[in-house]
Structure 1
Amino acid sequence: MPAALHPERLPPDRWIKVLPEGLYVEPGGFHIDPVRGVERAVITHGHSDHARPGNQLVFATPGTLAIMAQRMGEAAAVVTRPLDYGETIRIGAVTVRLVPAGHVLGSAQVVMEYAGSRVVVSGDYKRRADRTCLPFEPVPCDVFVTEATFGLPVFRHPPDLGEVGKLLHSLTLFPERSHVVGVYALGKCQRVITLLRAAGYDGPIHLHGALEPLCALYERHGVALGELRPATVAAKEELKGALVLAPPAAATDRWARRLTDPVVAMASGWMRVRQRARQRGVELPLIISDHADWDELTQTLEDVAAPEVWVTHGREEALVHHATQRGIRARALALIGFEEEEA
């Protein structure tokens, strides 16, 4: 770093601010995942609660920019600057690079260095294997800004293949019934498909029309999904006994009534909460999440070894307490506009 940009060491909370637009990195003049359009934004991933339209200049991975372009068109940004994983640039006086977050295609953590400190903003992340995206990369740092969507000890996600095994077992038990699985369009849909393929299911999977564009995008980025068929235009007889993926609302609404005596499943970390499954009329809850569970969150704090942790959206209090008990300085950030999972 040039001498002129070597300011006296500043605590990160002096140069990273919580503003109404979101997390603002003052010496770089940019926001991270702003909730409304700003001049310069670094976007961690393509979910709509993190990637919003109206920004002038957006820095993100090529995968995230492709997702934003497909979902928002020209409204995604006036100018985009793709950043490959590991590529280092300077934005204002801050050195920035992106590393994998393991959440969805293109998802990234933001690694920033300024004034003698390294701060990592995790975005959303998970720690388990996923064929659809690169795995989370722990980066040692001075301050770790972590999500806490499932930041309670009750949230311990079971093995993914075991959950998919429940779905496959139901298919053998009820071969005459359609099975419709509620999945989010970005990330969860493609992950469930690759888990089914990994478990040996090589038959056709029918897709609600809203899921098709992002599946095609994933395949263009090298994620093989196998045979996919449109469900929206398929004859009712063709869908008898079929495996169908649909957005959560469609899976539990009138759209699913065209299926033959459907078994309604839902793939979400929130399926751990039985009341949520019952309220949505879910017969087969599948606890499959793209967010870290309690054990993965706490393990990540150990792995990055940051002496200070800032906790964003989710169950902040429990993770702050856990960190404090282990001698880590911890506090909750009052960020607004982030959902627990993309709706």
Structure 2
Amino acid sequence: MPHPATWLRVTEAGLYCDPGDFHIDPTRAVPRAVITHGHSDHARPDHGAVLATAETLAIMRARMGDDRAGAAQQAMAPGEGVMRNGVGIRLVPAGHVLGSAQVVLDWQGSRAVISGDYKRRPDPTCAPFEPVACDVFVTEATFALPVFRHPPVEQEVAKLLESLRLFPDRAHVIGVYSLGKCQRLIALLRRAGWERPIYLHGALMALCALYEELGVALGPLLPVPLSKRGAPPTLAGEVVLAPPSAETTPWARRLAEPVVCAASGWMRVRQRAKARGIELPLIISDHADWDELLATCAEVEAPEVWVTHGREDALIHALSLRDVRGRALHLVGLGEEDEGEAAPVETAPA
């Protein structure tokens, strides 16, 4: 039985399956790609053939255009399988964003699971992570330090609702990434009883509409209203979602004395929140925290774990104490849009 290290290797374009002749989340255009999810550090344009979930393909088309989301596109439902040159390929939910999937590869009796990005907390907008036993588990390590232990999301949403109650004369503008975090926070607010319209920066409208088309109900959403020069600020007491750092642009001047918020796992780091001028940090992450990374590696029972990006050294050391071999893959280009930190701020029309 060949070890996955004999048939999975790192190339300049990313992780490559030799017998299957395809890449997983390649960082440049390749002839054949399997894509775990729609974030742009994992889903790049101009591949020849693309295999992904139907939701991920829809997200890629929405973000890249039909002509750049793969010359040939094959949608595969979770749990379904295909064969490529003797390699079995399955997609299993990863719990990261809508359509996100782990890639399960079987060849000649050995199995590798490539997680992509994943989280273990419940999310009303996507299917939950499903652990799969394997010989090699390829994991992210975005928050692989013991300091990163995410609180319950209900606690963070309650903080936001309490601030809305205490400051009814101020708009609450929350920095969120356009794919995943935006829709998840909307769904969490709905579950917490917020029934009023939620106002969106123009850069967030399209993907929210796509989520609705794909069956994820988000409730009443409205664009932030346009205002004439010199008009009084608006939306006091309302929830406003925008790309990270949009509150520092002229766009925010139309809002009533905004409470600047951010929803991110990085809000655990007080210096980062302070440096960004965040008044209300909300620790809401779409990635597994330290304990969840270790628990997931134990659940999949893999004797060897490869780490694609993030805090590789800390995770590999912790796994070695559990008699699990670790290996850092040093894939270039992954994690660049993590938690929206590197997402460009798009300004709505004036």
The TM-score range, normalised by the shorter chain, is over 0.9
Q: Which stretch shows the higher mean deviation, 236-245 or 25-34?
A: 236-245
Question: Which residue identity does 1:165 align to in structure 2?
Answer: A
Report the CA distance between 1:123 and its aligned residue.
0.3
- Once the two structures are superposed, the pairs formed by residues 101-180 of structure 1 within 5 Å of their partners are 101-180=94-173
Question: Which residue identity does 2:280 align to in structure 1?
Answer: L
Deviations 1:36-88 (A, max 9, x none): 10000000000000000010000000000000000000111111000110111
| Alignment-derived partner of residue 260 in structure 1 | 256
- SS at structure 1 position matched to 2:199: strand
The alignment status of 1:70 with 2:62, answered yes or no, reads yes
| Alignment-derived partner of residue 5 in structure 1 | none
Distance in 1 (CA, whole Å) between partners of 2:32 and 2:226 is 42
Cα RMSD of the aligned pairs, angstroms, is 1.1
- Once the two structures are superposed, the pairs formed by residues 89-108 of structure 1 within 5 Å of their partners are 89-108=82-101
| Alignment-derived partner of residue 322 in structure 2 | 326
Kindly report structure 1 stretches of 4+ aligned residues shifted beyond 6 Å.
none
Distance in 1 (CA, whole Å) between partners of 2:118 and 2:248 is 27
| Alignment-derived partner of residue 185 in structure 2 | 192
- Among 292, 298, 302, the alignment partner of 1:302 is 298
Report the CA distance between 1:156 and its aligned residue.
0.2
Given that 1:208 and 1:232 are in contact with CA atoms closer than 8 Å, whether structure 2 keeps it comes out as no
| Alignment-derived partner of residue 284 in structure 2 | 288
Distance in 1 (CA, whole Å) between partners of 2:308 and 2:275 is 27
Report the CA distance between 1:249 and its aligned residue.
2.5
- SS at structure 1 position matched to 2:6: helix
Distance in 2 (CA, whole Å) between partners of 1:63 and 1:118 is 25
TM-score by length of 2: 0.94
Question: Which residue identity does 2:285 align to in structure 1?
Answer: S
Q: Which stretch shows the higher mean deviation, 180-189 or 250-259?
A: 250-259
- Among 232, 235, 239, the alignment partner of 1:239 is 235
Deviations 1:223-268 (A, max 9, x none): 1111101115368554122210000021333321221110000000
- SS at structure 2 position matched to 1:251: helix
- SS at structure 2 position matched to 1:128: coil
Deviations 1:258-299 (A, max 9, x none): 211100000000000111111111100000000000011011
| Alignment-derived partner of residue 39 in structure 2 | 47
- SS at structure 2 position matched to 1:189: helix
Distance in 1 (CA, whole Å) between partners of 2:201 and 2:173 is 10
Runs (5+) with no aligned partner, structure 2: 344-350
Distance in 1 (CA, whole Å) between partners of 2:157 and 2:219 is 16
Question: Which residue identity does 2:76 align to in structure 1?
Answer: L
- Among 13, 25, 39, the alignment partner of 2:17 is 25
State the identity %: 64
The alignment status of 1:276 with 2:246, answered yes or no, reads no
The alignment status of 1:337 with 2:333, answered yes or no, reads yes
Distance in 2 (CA, whole Å) between partners of 1:70 and 1:232 is 24
- Once the two structures are superposed, the pairs formed by residues 221-240 of structure 1 within 5 Å of their partners are 221-233=214-226, 238-240=234-236
Question: Which residue identity does 1:57 align to in structure 2?
Answer: A
Distance in 2 (CA, whole Å) between partners of 1:197 and 1:134 is 18
Given that 2:142 and 2:310 are in contact with CA atoms closer than 8 Å, whether structure 1 keeps it comes out as yes
| Alignment-derived partner of residue 4 in structure 1 | none
Distance in 2 (CA, whole Å) between partners of 1:92 and 1:29 is 8
Report the CA distance between 1:312 and its aligned residue.
1.1
Give the number of equivalent residue pairs. 335
